[in-house]
Amino acid sequence: MLCTECQKRTATLHYTQIINGEKTEVHVCEVCAQKKGYSFPGDEPYTLHDLLTGLFNVTSPGLDVKEDNFFNQFNELTCDHCQLSFSEFQRIGKFGCTNCYDTFKAKLPAIFRKVHSGNTKHDGKIPKRKGGNLHIKKEIERYREYLQQLIKEENFEEAAVIRDRIKDLEKLQGGNES
Amino acid sequence: MSLEQFMNEAISPWMRVEGPENDIVLSTRIRLARNFEKVTFPIIANEDELRSVIEFMKENYEGKSYANYQNLAFIEMEDLSHIEKRVLVEKHLISPFLTKARASGVLVSENEQLSIMVNEEDHIRIQLYFPGFQMKQALDHAFELDDWLEEKIDFAFDERWGYLTSCPTNVGTGMRASVMIHLPALVLTKRINQMIPAINQFGFVVRGIYGEGTEALGNLFQVSNQITLGKSEEDIVEDLESVIINLVEQEREARHYLLHTSGKKLEDQIFRSYGILKYGRIIESQEASARISDVRLGVDLGMIKDVSHNVLNELMVLTQPGFLQHYAKKVLTTSERDVLRATLIRERLNI
Ligand SMILES: [Zn+2]
Ligand SMILES: [Zn+2]
């Protein structure tokens, strides 16, 4: 497969890019990947550089002045721990510290959605110590969903068992917190 | 240095074990990105902060062991020569980025299956390799190692966004699962061109493996997950597994097809490549990769009986520029490397 940028060299990097909800296939050679900023330090599939700058600098047709003002204010927003401003974050495509996530939180769902095919919420491993009651909370959530399903199926016997289990977990959760 | 000693250095102990499906899948890797909650991420951190991370890791993990991962050695980048750094990159123990990062280092287990990069783009990057196709085992072990580190480190974690990383492309699980796969028949039949977009659509990135140049080398591809947020590690690994199973099946089918439709031609190509590796006097890295790929296919198809996968894995690593210069103990020009490369391959195949 030829590189879609130069049409000369063999494409060696292949992935799907989503910009403004539109999927584009990217098939580029190493040279063009680097030129276009698709290239990556180490083993990253691509850098966010172009994606992010594209994301923020392209004014969408529906953008009015009011939003524009909000946008400018946001650019000056600076993380009080590492001093990274939002416009710097856009430029380098990296967070400077844990606190940046909090500082820029209003903009993050939109960014994450583009990068992670519409996802904005973690659904994986939770650290044992740091996660604290989060494990229990997640388990309760899972059981509650299951309980709803059981009730729908009129499987009340099993539902009673699950309800008790949820109660136990809630007790455990309360105990840990105090 | 004797050739034998040098070979021993080229190939990591874990690579000597034959893994499942290793006629097509070379290796499986899990990488987890983690950060210290209270320390500024490496790109912004000052020298003191970076040092504090290095010192913490040294103090708590140097010389320590966990399960199969014995006797972690700590290597600081600033203590290494340019060639030594390159050798670690060619062995995939560190990323090229780490060699340029400030106050950075790596913990490596004795079997070289585990490496923990310190102060790369994130404070910690756990990398775990398995031979062949072993996604679930790799994930289980990576999780255990992660828990082991978490006993002493407060990781940056948020209930909503998961593990916090410097780059938004890693947030959530912080996991990149990848598989290195050899697909000569899919390339020869050009079927790979239809398969790649389908794999991309499924959320996985495919990339050719590079050597010195910019062309894909030796029909080797790395397939890895694109997204890290909103999908559990288990689900990512399961999906990657099904992508790889499909690729392996298609590759096997394409090999059969080639054997039936143009068997003699294929055999000729394989043995010509074998001849060049055995008797050539000058060989560029790109050609070496292509020839090694042909010979590997010949071994898989039972046409070549006196060469093992291990020998080919060794050749892939030790014919790279860093290793060649490490062997020569000096900086070599491109043409000097091409001669030394041919010599090493010849000697190795004639042992
Ligand atoms: Zn190109
Ligand atoms: Zn910050």
Q: What is the pLDDT of residue A33?
A: 77
When scoring B164, B219, B240 by the number of chain A Cβ atoms within 10 A, the one with the most, hence best to mutate, is B164
Read off the pLDDT of residues B102-128 as tens digits, 9 standing for 90 and up: 999 999 999 999 999 999 999 999 999
Q: Write out chain B residues lying below 8 Å of A129, CB-based.
A: 150-151, 154
Residue of B nearest to A117 (CA): B227
Here the ipTM equals 0.89
- Angle formed at CA B300 by CA B294 and CA B301, multiple of 5 degrees: 90
Contacts of B257 (CB under 8 A, 6+ apart): B185, B189
Cα of A6 from ligand 1 centre, angstroms: 4
Spatial distance between the Cα atoms of A20 and A58, rounded to a whole number of angstroms? 10
Task: Tell me: pLDDT of A66 over 80.
Answer: no
Q: Note the ligand closest to the C-alpha atom of A7.
A: 1
- Give the pLDDT confidence of B23-56 residue by residue, as tens digits: 999 999 999 999 999 999 999 999 999 999 999 9
Say how many Å lie between the CA of residue B229 and the centre of ligand 2: 20
Confidence of residue B1 (pLDDT cuts 50, 70, 90): low
Q: Rounded distance, CA B68 to CA B138, Å?
A: 12
From B143, B200, B216, residue closest to A15, measured CB to CB: B200
pTM above 0.80, yes or no: yes
Neighbours of B92 (CB within 10 A): 18
Distance, CA B111 to ligand 2 centroid (Å)? 37
B169–A44 CB contact, under 8 Å = yes
**What span, in angstroms and rounded, lies between the C-alpha atoms of B227 and A15?**
11
- Beta strands in chain B, from DSSP E residues, in sequence order: 25-34, 73-76, 105-108, 114-118, 124-131, 157-158, 162-163, 175-182, 204-208, 220-225
Output the CA B156–ligand 2 centroid distance in Å.
12
pLDDT digits (tens, 9 = 90+) for B305-336: 999 888 888 888 888 888 899 888 889 999 99
Q: Does residue B215 belong to the interface with chain A, where contact is any CB pair within 8 Å?
A: yes
d(CA B258, CA B136): 32
Three-state SS for B306?
coil
Q: How far is the CA of B250 from the centre of ligand 1 (A)?
A: 27
CB atoms within 10 A of CB B173: 27
Main-chain dihedrals φ then ψ at residue B19, nearest 5 degrees: -90, 170
- Ligand number, closest to the Cα atom of B44: 2
Q: What is the pLDDT of residues B183-220, one digit of tens each?
A: 999 999 999 989 999 999 899 999 887 655 555 678 99
- Report the length, in residues, of chain B: 351
For residue B36, what are the β-bridge partners? Answer: B155
CB B33 within 8 A of CB B122: yes
Among the bound ligands, the one closest to the CA of A35: 1
Residue A78: beta bridge partners? A85
B180 CB within 8 Å of a chain A CB: no
- Give the closest residue to A101 by CA, choosing from B154, B228, B161: B161
pLDDT in the model for residue A10: 81
Question: Which chain B residues are within 8 Å of A109, Cβ to Cβ?
Answer: none
